[in-house]
């Protein structure tokens, strides 16, 4: 994917202010935000500063982040937003396929694909370290669709969440 703006683009002032503390926007986050902006422009939807800011927080998080956690991070910034504002921003990002909701954790993570479309995804949730890994296996999504169709059921949304032990934790347990 070719990005307009590129890596030289500066972090907006509001975001830089919120970057104090644990939040540290890497070049990767900036690149993904720029890609999201380009995708929204292509789709003709508004990628407002708040939406960009919330997506930036989700992408910069170490793991899944809750709406409450986001509100906490927004507190004290100029985005001292009311919960409905944040929920609306999250809904927008979900609809655009820029983030996913991990139902099991009631939390949000950025989509690895970062594409402006929703897609069926599977999540591997580590019970030991809490890491969540996104898997986009079309064979799994197709199998779910077929199984539902066999019952005459039309699925609108399917999130598959698998709890267990990640490779890193399994490795450290073996030593
Ligand atoms: Zn995804
Ligand atoms: Zn783990």
Kind of pairing, strands 107-110 and 132-135? unpaired
Q: Is residue 39 situated within a structural domain?
A: no
Averaged pLDDT score across all residues of the chain: 82
Q: Does a structural domain hold residue 45?
A: no
Position 174 confidence tier, pLDDT thresholds 50, 70, 90: low
How many domains, in total, are found in the chain?
1
Instruction: Examine residue 43 and state whether it is found in any structural domain, yes or no.
Output: no
24 Cα to the center of ligand 1, angstroms: 22
The pLDDT score that the predictor gives to residue 143 is 92
Is 155 within the bounds of a domain?
yes
- Ligand 1 centre to CA of 79 (Å) is 26
Bigger pLDDT: 100 or 156? 100
Q: The pTM is what?
A: 0.76
Does any domain span residue 129? yes
Q: Is residue 11 part of a domain?
A: no
CATH of the domain at 147: 3.30.1490.190
- Residue 128 is part of which domain span? 119-175
Least confident of 19-28, 90-99, 153-162: 19-28
The alpha carbon of 148 and the centre of ligand 2 are apart by a number of angstroms equal to 31
Which one has a higher pLDDT value, 165 or 120? 165
18 to 12, 75, 115, 117: CA distances (angstroms) = 10, 9, 25, 28
Q: 162 CA to middle of ligand 2, Å?
A: 13
Ligand 2: distance of its center to the CA of 17 in Å? Answer: 32
């Amino acid at each position: 994917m070719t990005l307009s703006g590129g890596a030289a683009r500066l972090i907006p002032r509001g975001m830089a202010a919120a970057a104090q503390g644990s939040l540290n926007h890497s070049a990767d986050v900036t690149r993904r935000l720029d890609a999201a902006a380009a995708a929204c422009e292509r789709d003709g939807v508004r990628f407002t500063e708040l939406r960009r800011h919330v997506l930036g927080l989700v992408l910069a998080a170490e793991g899944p982040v809750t709406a409450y956690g986001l509100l906490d991070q927004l507190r004290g910034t100029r985005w001292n937003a009311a919960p409905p504002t944040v929920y609306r921003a999250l809904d927008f990002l979900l609809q655009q396929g820029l983030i996913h909701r991990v139902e099991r954790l009631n939390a949000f993570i950025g989509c690895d694909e970062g594409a402006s479309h929703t897609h069926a995804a599977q999540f591997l949730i580590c019970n030991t370290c809490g890491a969540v890994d996104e898997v986009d296996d079309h064979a799994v999504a197709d199998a779910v669709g077929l199984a539902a169709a066999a019952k005459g059921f039309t699925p609108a949304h399917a999130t598959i969440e698998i709890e267990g032990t990640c490779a890193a934790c399994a490795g450290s347990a073996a030593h």
